[in-house]
Amino acid sequence: MKSNQEISDNDLFRNFVDNKKPETLFRELMGRYKQKVYSQVRRILIKHDDADEVTQIVFIKLWKNADNFKFNSALSSFIYRIAYNECMTFLKQNGRFSSIDEVMDKDGHYGNIVKQGNDLDGNKIMRQLQAALLTLPEKQRLVFNYKYFDDLPYKEISEITGTSEGALKASYHHAVEKIKFFLEKD
Amino acid sequence: MELDPKYRKGEWDVPEGYFEGFEDKVLKRLESEKSPKFKVYIQRNLKYFAAVAASLAIFIGVYTSQNKHNAEDSNFSFNDLDSSELVAFEDNVELSEEEFEEFIPEATIDSLYQSEFKIEQEVINGFSKDELEDLEEEFMPLDEDI
């Protein structure tokens, strides 16, 4: 019999749902996904405190909506979808953007954090890239993050964002072009 | 078109030990959301609960008062009424013969008829012979009443 560490994410989650949501299995799931979810959320929300709050909410939502998962897609897509939705909800609730499709750094809030390096590790390359990312429209930035940093296939990004694969490929292409232009100029 | 992979190496600055305590933090939060759920629900909907409680209090008050009133009514008896009240009742309420017999005791009916048809001798003396014969015809009991 396989231990919890050896079984796939979907099988682990099935055990979790079928056995009335035991805490031990949920700990194992969080252990597998906490850093990935945090990274995705942090890249969207930039600040650690915001990312921490939303990452916790993602796992709370995962617990509460576990019965809604149909097991015909990857668990990672389900979790990233929750993360994506929670980030959008957070951005709307905090009133920083009138539309999620607007450029994220409308009021210079995040741009200043990135430029000053207050909340980054001092890595110049990272700061440069984040500054470039903040010039992108929301959709392009999201697609770039999923593709470049997480190396997710377009099919999975499509499931997360609800956008067609063709549109995602076009968004990624435009994002890379703009970032390259920004970095060369900088 | 691809971007130089060197940019992937950048890491966000995360507080030390943040990920170690993460599971405990989420589970504690889940637990706290579970237990006071009803309490929070009550607090959030306090005005609705107050309205429901007030409505219930009014309903119970009205119901109790009504029951008390009905209980008082159930002690009522037609025997307590005098003949004029019974006549007034009969004039105002449409009752079938069966209902009338059910509600009003036979003795009461008899006394009612006796009092209604009891005519003082002086009054009788006041009538002429023809008038008396007319009255006698008019109030002659039917065969079925005898």
Report pLDDT digits (tens) over B8-26: 766 677 899 999 999 999 9
Q: Across the strands, what pairs with B12?
A: A120
| CB contact at 8 A, B19 and A34 | yes
Q: Which residues contact A21 (CB under 8 A, 6 or more apart)?
A: A63, A66
Give tens-digit pLDDT for B45-63. Answer: 777 778 888 888 888 888 8
Cα A148 to the center of its chain, rounded Å: 12
Which residues on chain B are in Cβ contact (under 8 Å) with A27?
Answer: 23, 27
Nearest 5°: the CA angle A132, A134, A137 is 110
| CB contact at 8 A, A168 and A158 | yes
Give tens-digit pLDDT for B89-141. Answer: 666 666 667 766 666 667 666 665 555 555 677 777 888 888 878 877 776 66
d(CA B72, CA A102): 76
* pLDDT-flagged residues of chain A (< 50): 97-108, 112-113, 117-122
In Å, how far is A144's CA from the nearest CA of chain B? 10
Q: Is the Cβ pair B30, A63 closer than 8 Å?
A: yes
| CB contact at 8 A, B24 and A140 | no
Which residues on chain A are in Cβ contact (under 8 Å) with B17?
Answer: none
pLDDT at B33: 82
d(CA A129, CA A146): 15
pLDDT at B134: 81
In Å, how far is A92's CA from the nearest CA of chain B? 23
Reported confidence tier of residue B66, pLDDT bands at 50, 70, 90:
confident
pLDDT at A121: 47
pLDDT at A14: 94
3-class state of residue A118 by DSSP: coil
Q: Which of A23, A34, A121 sits opposite B12 (nearest CB)?
A: A121
ipTM score assigned to the predicted complex: 0.74
Question: What are φ and ψ of residue B131, in 5° steps?
Answer: -65, -40
- Residue recorded with tokens 């995360």: B14
In this structure, which amino acid lies at residue B16? E
pLDDT at A101: 39
Strands (E), chain A: none
* Inter-chain contacts counted by CB atoms under 8 A, chains A and B: 72
pLDDT at A44: 81
Cα A154 to the center of its chain, rounded Å: 14
Return the sign of the alpha-carbon dihedral for residues A66, A70, A73, A78.
negative
In Å, how far is A41's CA from the nearest CA of chain B? 11
Retrieve residue B31's tokens.
């637990």
| CB contact at 8 A, A42 and A18 | no
pLDDT at B22: 95
In Å, how far is B34's CA from the nearest CA of chain A? 11
- Give the residue among A72, A66, A79 at the shortest CA–CA distance from A34: A79
Retrieve residue A10's tokens.
């979907």
Higher-pLDDT residue of B42 and A60 is A60
pLDDT at A105: 44
pLDDT over 70 at B68, yes or no: yes
Which residues on chain A are in Cβ contact (under 8 Å) with B7?
Answer: 125-126, 128-129, 148
Q: Is the Cβ pair A126, B3 closer than 8 Å?
A: no
Strands (E), chain B: none
Angle, in degrees to the nearest 10, between helices A23-45 and B22-34: 110
Q: Is the Cβ pair A34, B23 closer than 8 Å?
A: yes
d(CA A153, CA A14): 24
Q: What is the CA radius of gyration of chain B?
A: 44
Q: Which residues contact B121 (CB under 8 A, 6 or more apart)?
A: none
Which residues on chain A are in Cβ contact (under 8 Å) with B1?
Answer: 173, 176-177, 180
Q: Which of B10, B22, B29 sits opposite A129 (nearest CB)?
A: B10
Q: Which of residues 139-168 of A touch B (CB under 8 A)?
A: 148-149
